[in-house]
Structures are given as structure tokens and as C-alpha cells.
Amino acid sequence: MVFENNLSFAKSLDKQDELKLYREKFFFPQHENKNVIYFTGNSLGLQPKNTQHYLQQELDDWGKYGVEGHFLAKNPWLSYHELLTNKMAKIVGALPEETVMMNQLTVNLHLLLVSFYRPTKNRYKILCESKAFPSDQYALQSQLKFHGFNPDEALIEIEPRPGEYHIREEDIYKTIEDNKNTLALIMIGGVNYFTGQVFDMKSITQAGHNVGAIVGFDLAHAAGNLQLELHNWDVDFAVWCSYKYLNSGPGGVAGAFVHEKHLKNTTIPQFAGWWGHDKETRFLMDSKFMPIQTAERWQLSNAPVLSMAACRASLDIFDELGMPALDKKSKLLTAYLEFIIDEINVEKNNCLQIITPKNNRGCQLSIVAHGYGKSLYNQLIESGVIPDWREPNVIRCAPVPLYNSFEDIFRFGEILKKILN
Ligand SMILES: *Cc1c(COP(=O)(O)O)cnc(C)c1O
């Protein structure tokens, strides 16, 4: 498509947008009585207007039934988490039995590392991307130490080449090959939170399996952003949060995936709790743990129903739409943002460098503003734009197909130009 940098063109794209009505389903923070230009759905998704109704239902039933709400609530709490499973599974390309919503992301990462990082004397190394999200780095380092290894030696971090911003996939495959006898686990963010680089999860999984390693992904920036096929790609395990692209609210309940092939393997060690116990006999309160033969096996505690109610509100929207429709709009929106940035660069001496790889990205663009500091971000905020700022000079913008418009992007360009002038 040939883009134009003017308001009527942006409006015409919005008019043709099949998802345009979904914008109305979300609350936007206000700036001078207008919706802000919200580009931080990759950090905290906006609140669906319906969320309060989902929460109110559970509050009402709690008020009405007390403890009996576990059975008598309209959506009985005993099995409440099951209401999320099918919809979540569809979003990440998993079978329902491979998917469970529980805890929070870093907790789930630790729980699945307990099961899937099982080092031996010779095969103990973990491979991840450099500058992974800090929580992932801490989780991996602490797991290594827990097993008696030195992270400085046992954690391999693949870096971009000098002078480059993102990691070349060929370097990943070479590192896997170079460590083929010592590599126990590959654990990479499916989308790097800083650069927005998307990794080829299918090929990395295959390359890992070829040398005998287990492969897991952190999908915090991928779930609800990209079309995923965790089952078909043969990924061993994955974890993600739901408060970014999945709009479940601050600290919302997280997701976990374990491939079907591992579900019935009772030799896999795990940390256990009563909610992972066979449902038929759970309330016999027997002392012997009998794992459920689905991903629910990794559940520890009974489900956080209020948090899950908020998550359901958003998953129902995703279910109605489907990832293919979102993906289609996402590509066009992000391409339009790229076009607008390129237009500004023509006038402003290429001061804005997009470091997100053109052919491996979701909706996020990470932009280095050469010669500018945090005051640029502050001025954007004062002008009614909410992007995200990473020191020293990176602006991350995530136009989210569910609720961002082409007009948002045009207006962002106008504001940015004015500030740079
Ligand atoms: C957002 C994010 C987290 C946050 O972890 P929580 O346990 O949800 O606080 C972890 N890892 C990555 C890659 C993230 O993007």
C-alpha cells in the first residue's frame, strides 16, 4: 500500500478498518479531555469497558453465597480457571490441555525451570539472549546457582554483533552448534522487550532439539501480539503474562504452556500443590500427590478468581476477533508508523533510527532518538502521547491493533515533528 502523511488519508484507513469498533470497547486515559495516544499496550494494556461487569459478577456472587460460591456462583469458582483455558490456548496456538492460567510470569518461569532445567554434570548450560528482561536473567542465574553452577560460565548470552542492535539468527544457530554437548536448555524471549525483535521460535526449537536441549520461551511480549503455534512448533514449555497485550489489568494472572508430549511423563520432577492434584480425589485430602495429566498439573494454589475475571473480559474480545484479524491490522498499523517515522527522518536528518528488525517484528517499534534525551519523552507526555522510554534514548511505541487507530499514528507524527523542531 502507498501511504500518505496526512489526516484525511489516516482517517480513510480507519474507515476501512474492520476492527475500528473495538477501540470503543476500551477506556483511554484522558489528556485535555481527549483520548491520549496510547502506545504502551506492550507494558500495560488498556482496560476493556466490560471488565467491571466480569468482576462485578464475582463480587455479587461472593456477597450472595460466601464460600458456597465455589459451587453456586454463576461461574463456579472451583473450576473458574477452566473458563480461560480454551480461549488462551487458541491465542498461543496450543491444545487446551497444554495450557493453564496461574500465578504470575516469573513464578511460572521458575516452576517450569524446576521441571525442564535438569542439568547433568556434562549437560548444564543455558542459552538466552543478551539483555533479556531482568526478571528472566535473575530467574536463570538463580536456577543455575541453585543447581551449583556458576552463571558466569554456564549462562550463554547471545549478543548483537558490535555496532548492531539486534541478534542475527545465524549467530544463535552457531552458538547452539558450538555448545551442542553441554547445552541443557534454551530459554529466549519470543519477542525481545527492548528491541522488539521477534525470534524464529520454530527454527530455534528445532535447532535446540537437534542437539538434545530443551527449548522454552518467555512470551510476555508475544502473547496477543503475534500468531503463535506453540504446539506445532514443538516448543517444550512457555510462560507469559496477560497484562501487556492481553489487557488483564496490573499484575494480572499469567499463562503457562507445557507440550503434550511431557504431560503424562510422571518422571519429570515438579513442585506440587493441591490444585495440581487429580480433580476427582482432590477433596479426599489424601497425602499422596496424584498429578492431573494436563498443564494444570503445575498449579499450586486455588485460582485467583478476581484476577481471572478481569482476564476473561479481554480473552472474550480476542476470541471474538481471532489472532489472524489482529495480525493483519497490526502489520498495516506498524508499517504506517514506520512510514511516518521515515517521513520525519527526511526532514530531520535521520535522527530517528528504528532498531526493530523490519522483517522480524510484531507491533512494537523501538526508536533511537539520536541527539535527544529524556526531555523528548517528557514533551511527548505533555502533548498527550504515552510512549515508553528506555535510557539513554530509546522510545518504544506499540500501536496495538485492538484499540489504536491510524489517526493516532498520524497525530503522533505531527506532535513528534513539532517537538523535534
Ligand atoms: C513484563 C515481563 C516480565 C515481568 O514479569 P512478572 O513476573 O510478570 O512481573 C518478565 N519477563 C519479560 C520478558 C517481560 O516482558
Q: SS3 string of 68-118?
A: HHHHHCCCCHHHCCHHHHHHHHHHHCCCHHHEEECCCHHHHHHHHHHHHCC
3-state helix, strand, coil in the chain (%, to 5): 45, 15, 40
| 251 Cα nearest atom in ligand 1 | 8
Angle at 103 between CA 102 and CA 104, to 5 degrees: 120
Q: Ligand 1, from 44, 113, 128, 135: best to mutate by most atoms within 8 Å of Cβ?
A: 135
Overall average pLDDT of the 314-337 stretch: 98
Residue with cell 498449579: 299
Q: Which CATH number fits domain 7-42+322-420: 2.40.160.20, 3.40.50.1100, 3.40.50.970, 3.90.1150.10?
A: 3.90.1150.10
Distance 15 CA to ligand 1 centre (A): 35
| 43 Cα nearest atom in ligand 1 | 1
| 241 Cα nearest atom in ligand 1 | 8
pLDDT tens-place string over residues 113-131: 999 999 999 999 999 999 8
Q: Where are the domains of the chain?
A: 7-42+322-420, 55-321
**Average pLDDT of every residue of the chain:** 96
User: Which residues have C-beta within 8 Å of that of residue 303, sequence separation ≥ 6?
Assistant: 77, 80, 81, 101, 102, 253, 275
Distance 241 CA to ligand 1 centre (A): 7
282 or 45, which is more confident? 45
Distance 135 CA to ligand 1 centre (A): 6
Overall average pLDDT of the 276-305 stretch: 93
Question: By C-alpha distance, which of 140, 123, 124 is closest to 132?
Answer: 140
Distance 103 CA to ligand 1 centre (A): 12
pTM: 0.97
**180 band by pLDDT with thresholds 50, 70 and 90:** very high
Distance 74 CA to ligand 1 centre (A): 32
Q: Which helix (H) or strand (E) holds 327?
A: helix 323-347
Q: Ligand 1, from 129, 192, 241, 396: best to mutate by most atoms within 8 Å of Cβ?
A: 241
Lowest mean pLDDT among 51-60, 147-156, 308-317, 367-376: 367-376
pLDDT of amino acid 406: 98
Distance 189 CA to ligand 1 centre (A): 10
Residue 262 cell numbers, joined: 511431557
**Ligand 1 pocket, CB under 6 A:** 104-106, 133, 135-136, 189, 193, 218, 220-221, 241
Kindly list the distances between the CA atom of residue 311 and the CA atoms of 52, 84, 88, 270, 417, in Å, as whole numbers in the listed order: 11, 8, 10, 26, 37
Q: How far apart are CA 348 and CA 339, in angstroms?
A: 14
Distance 247 CA to ligand 1 centre (A): 14
Distance 348 CA to ligand 1 centre (A): 35
**286 band by pLDDT with thresholds 50, 70 and 90:** confident
**Share above pLDDT 70 across residues of the chain, in percent, rounded to a whole number:** 100
| 107 Cα nearest atom in ligand 1 | 7
Which of the 8 DSSP states describes residue 119?
A: -
Distance 309 CA to ligand 1 centre (A): 21
Overall average pLDDT of the 333-346 stretch: 97
**283 band by pLDDT with thresholds 50, 70 and 90:** confident
Query: 55-321 in CATH: which number?
Result: 3.40.640.10
Going by CA atoms, what residue is nearest to atom 2 of ligand 1? 220
Residue 374 cell numbers, joined: 529524556
pLDDT of 16 > 90? The answer is yes
Overall average pLDDT of the 291-310 stretch: 97
| 218 Cα nearest atom in ligand 1 | 13
Q: Half-sphere exposure of 32 toward its Cβ, with a 13 Å CA cutoff?
A: 6
| 254 Cα nearest atom in ligand 1 | 8
pLDDT of 285 > 90? The answer is no
pLDDT of 335 > 90? The answer is yes
Residue 11 cell numbers, joined: 482517517
pLDDT of 282 > 90? The answer is no
Residue 179 cell numbers, joined: 555448545
